[in-house]
Structure 1
Amino acid sequence: MGTQLHMHSHATLPFSPLNKTLISSPPLSFFSQRLQHNRAFGLAKNVNRDFKRRRDVGIVVASSSSNVALWESWKPEKGAKSPSLSDVVWPCVLASKGLFITIAPLGAVCAVLFATPSSPGARKYNMFMAQIGCAAIGVLAFSVFGPGWLARSAGLAAAIAFMILTGAVHPPAASLPILFIDVAKMQQLNFWYALFPGAAGCILLCLIQEVVMYLKNNFKF
């Protein structure tokens, strides 16, 4: 019996290392899960690397596009057609006829009405609302603060705020408060300054603008 047990134990010895290996080693599913994990992790790293690369490229593209947009504002507008000779002559000739009241803001009004007639600043509502309101603000600023830098700065700031609040943005009107504060002859008009010379001059310029537009559309050369 002892011999049989000894032989039985020796018979199982050649298999015991294999059995031990099979028992102590992880199952096959562990390796497959590990392989899938490594593949997924590698894919995640590749995706993350690709995302970072695209993000960096996007930052570069966005930065370059912002720089391009910044410099584009310093260049002439693309696609603008060259004006004909009549488009230049009619506004220049007739604009001078409307400047019998020679104040600086009306020169800017001429540029807006005749050079960019379709711009927001050339709208009649914007023009007259801003001209009357900003002129009145100049009178009030002078009455409260007197002549000096405080009246100029307060009048200009209030004029810009008025145009924004009323939706009547007309750039030439922003200079009306400063004109009233600095010119003694204008101060003699008091609140009549709200209507003359700014608003009265704009009425004349609007009439001349209609003539200019008619000539530009019907008498081209």
Structure 2
Amino acid sequence: MGMQLRTSCCHIHQNSSLIPPSLRSISPAISSLINTHFVRNKALVLERRLGFNQTDGRSIISSKGRRRRAEHGVVASSSNVAAPAPFWDDWKPGKRPAAPSLSDVLWPSAGAFAAMAILGKLDQVLAPKGISMTIAPLGAVSAVLLATPSSPAARKYNMFMAQIGCAAIGVLAFSMFGPGWLARSIALAASIAFMIYTGATHPPAASLPILFIDGAKLHHLNFWFALFPSATGCFLLCLIQEMVLYLKNNFKF
């Protein structure tokens, strides 16, 4: 394309019929100057229309051409754009920077054992009152706090906000719709909406409404269920988490 442009410009320069007759009647020097200026202007117009650079002759897309391509949805491919991951990548184990040490495995496991042992002892004390501290959601909370302490679900705000809010939603759904699939469905949907709206995403809390609706031994707690046993148990688990983190950071092996 660059050779064709230069050939066209030379043809214009050689063909004096393209210059107006009034300009050809002037002296040869001035006529030559006007001829050169005319050809250069003509070449500049052609270069701008075709999108060529006048300085080095390389063909580059002008800003107008890029704008036209963007308007018509034509986007130049780039090697920096990552290809979409295959569907089955989510089914593969994630990459870890290094294998965990023995202490990184032992201390969280020991903390989970201590948590369930303490909750079990509290159950023996509270058994005459018909109250149990060992509930399934606290097992999931232990896994979040001890195995992934830096995850968003392990943040104290997320945990307590979601635990209290979802437990209260479960009590409210049971009082309005009674036991059954409708109360469970509405309570779970409302709990997820509550966590998204407040920005307090804590997955173990989503099981609290279903636990209350299906657990007849918890119905007498009414709205106290929002604080006990879930929120109280989470406070105990937070203390155990601090002990585990201290042991992991100071006693490595």
| Range with greater deviation from structure 2 (196-205 or 165-174) | 165-174
Count of residue pairs the alignment pairs up? 195
Match of 1:37 among 38, 42, 45: 45
Code of the residue aligned with 1:86 in structure 2: it is S
The answer to whether structure 1 residue 26 and structure 2 residue 18 are counterparts is yes
- The answer to whether the Cα contact below 8 Å between 2:158 and 2:201 also exists between their aligned partners in 1 is yes
Tell me which residue corresponds to 2:232. 200
The answer to whether structure 1 residue 82 and structure 2 residue 99 are counterparts is yes
Cα gap change, 1:35/1:90 in structure 2, threshold over 3 Å: closer, same or farther?
closer
For 2:84, what is the secondary structure of its paired residue?
helix
Match of 1:159 among 191, 206, 213: 191
Code of the residue aligned with 2:76 in structure 1: it is D
| Structure-2-length-normalised TM-score | 0.64
Tell me which residue corresponds to 2:60. 47
Q: Which has the higher contact order (CA 8 A, sep 6+)?
A: 1
| Bigger radius of gyration | 1
Identity %: 60
RMSD: 3.3
Distance 1:139 1:106 in 2: 18
Q: CA deviation at 1:198?
A: 0.9
| Structure-1-length-normalised TM-score | 0.72
Cα gap change, 1:115/1:69 in structure 2, threshold over 3 Å: closer, same or farther?
farther
Cα gap change, 1:90/1:30 in structure 2, threshold over 3 Å: closer, same or farther?
closer
Cα gap change, 1:33/1:154 in structure 2, threshold over 3 Å: closer, same or farther?
same
Pairing of 1:135-150 with structure 2 (within 5 A): 135-150=167-182
Match of 1:211 among 239, 243, 249: 243
- The answer to whether the Cα contact below 8 Å between 2:167 and 2:209 also exists between their aligned partners in 1 is yes
For 1:189, what is the secondary structure of its paired residue?
helix
Distance 2:83 2:183 in 1: 39
- The answer to whether the Cα contact below 8 Å between 2:111 and 2:146 also exists between their aligned partners in 1 is no
Match of 1:95 among 112, 132, 152: 112
Cα gap change, 1:184/1:31 in structure 2, threshold over 3 Å: closer, same or farther?
same
Match of 1:57 among 77, 100, 122: 77
Q: CA deviation at 1:77?
A: 5.3
The unaligned stretches of length 5 or more in structure 2 are 1-14, 20-34, 54-58, 121-132
- The answer to whether the Cα contact below 8 Å between 2:141 and 2:204 also exists between their aligned partners in 1 is yes
Distance 1:201 1:85 in 2: 28
Distance 2:152 2:158 in 1: 7
Tell me which residue corresponds to 2:84. 67
